[in-house]
Structure 1
Amino acid sequence: MLRVLTLAGLLALGGAAPGLAQTVAFGGMRADTSAPVEVTADSLRVVQATGEAVFTGNVLIGQGDMRLSAATVTVIYGEGGQQRIKALDASGGVTLVSGEDAAEAAQAVYDVDSGQVVLTGDAIVTRGDSVLAGDRIEVNLRDGTAAVSGRVRSVLQPGQQ
């Protein structure tokens, strides 16, 4: 993992242009996308017209070992009604944690079927003391990889493996 992060970091520090995407491996940033999704919050509002559920206040979502927290999360259901979650749209201090890896952003959209999380707005991913940041970070929870685009910034600690 360090080699991939080092390459991304060298490219980023070498003057990567805005909009240039970098792909990195996160190792522990994975989730069992077939596991049930548990949501807790201070309040819930169901919008019958759209079939969405809006959770607000101290929202915590868990799926397997992955945890996502935010101020507000809208649960978008797929075909079959409320038995099948299609996506989660989180906003307000979004934090995603899986194993040693953590990510933060202003907003995150999690497509449950594909296992893809898109973090936007001052997105940052950390593993230990290493940091990777960009305007947009797309994390694939199935294979533990991510793509960072926008103004990419990386801080790598010497001697980490």
Structure 2
Amino acid sequence: MLRAVMIALLLSAGPAAAQSVAFGGMQQDRSAPVEVSADNLAVNQADGSAVFTGNVVIGQGAMRLAAERVTVIYGEGGQDRIKALQAEGSVTLVSGDDAAEAGAADYDVETGVVVLTGDVVLTQGRNVLTGDRVRVDIGAGTAQVDGRVRSVLQPEGN
């Protein structure tokens, strides 16, 4: 589906205000545990958050999120319930064979929606799509690209 959308984007002239693309050909398992590794951790009991810094890698099922800094927002129930993740600095999101890079990302764990901002680059195989802001719905396997969109498509067999 991403290839078809990229071809449509390539054939349409001018900037795209919002385009939809496929992302991650899998269903997100929201019941899977969220595993976090990092160089440092600071916990704030007052606001119910934890800040991981340095080589942060977060995984849930087959999805991986990496960044320089990630703030974990806990929901009701404390550390047993992660509500959201806010990633900053060299953010990389990988889901199946698809990948995205951005300056920042906000991941709502409960809904499975990730919003990437700052020079976003989506790749699927050798195909590349860039934009200013991308909203990825991991559960639905879709993404919407906003802002100036550019795509590079590789013909099959190349």
Task: Report whether the alignment pairs 1:110 with 2:112.
Answer: no
Instruction: Report how far residue 25 of structure 1 moved.
Output: 1.2
The match for 2:52 is 55
Task: Specify which of 98, 116, 132 is matched with residue 129 of structure 2.
Answer: 132
The partner residue of 1:84 within 81, 84, 89 is: 81
Q: 1:1-161 maps to which residues of 2 (within 5 A)? A: 1=1, 2-11=3-12, 14-17=13-16, 20-28=17-25, 30-159=27-156
List gaps (5 residues or longer) in structure 1.
Answer: none
Deviation digits for residues 122-155 of structure 1 (CA, Å, limit 9, x no counterpart): 0110011100110000100001100000111111
Q: What is the percent sequence identity of the aligned residues?
A: 65
CA distance in 1, matches of 2:102, 2:152: 17
* In 2, Cα distance between equivalents of 1:6 and 1:29: 22
Unaligned runs of 5+ in 2: none
In 1, the alpha carbon distance for the partners of 2:122 and 2:10 equals 13
The TM-score normalised by the length of structure 1 is 0.91
DSSP 3-state at the match of 2:21: strand
Check the 8 A contact 1:29/1:101 in 2, yes or no. no
Contact 1:46–1:52 (CA<8 Å) still a contact in 2? yes
TM-score where L is the length of structure 2: 0.93
Please state whether the residue corresponding to 2:10 is helix, strand or coil.
helix
Structure 1 pair 101–22 and aligned structure 2 pair: CA distance change class (3 A): same
Q: Which amino acid aligns with 2:120?
A: A
How far did residue 28 of structure 1 move?
Answer: 2.9
Residue 7 of structure 1, CA deviation: 1.6
Considering only aligned residues, what root-mean-square deviation do their CA atoms show, in Å? 1.4
Question: Once the 2 structures are TM-superposed, how far is the Cα of residue 120 of structure 1 from its aligned partner?
Answer: 0.2
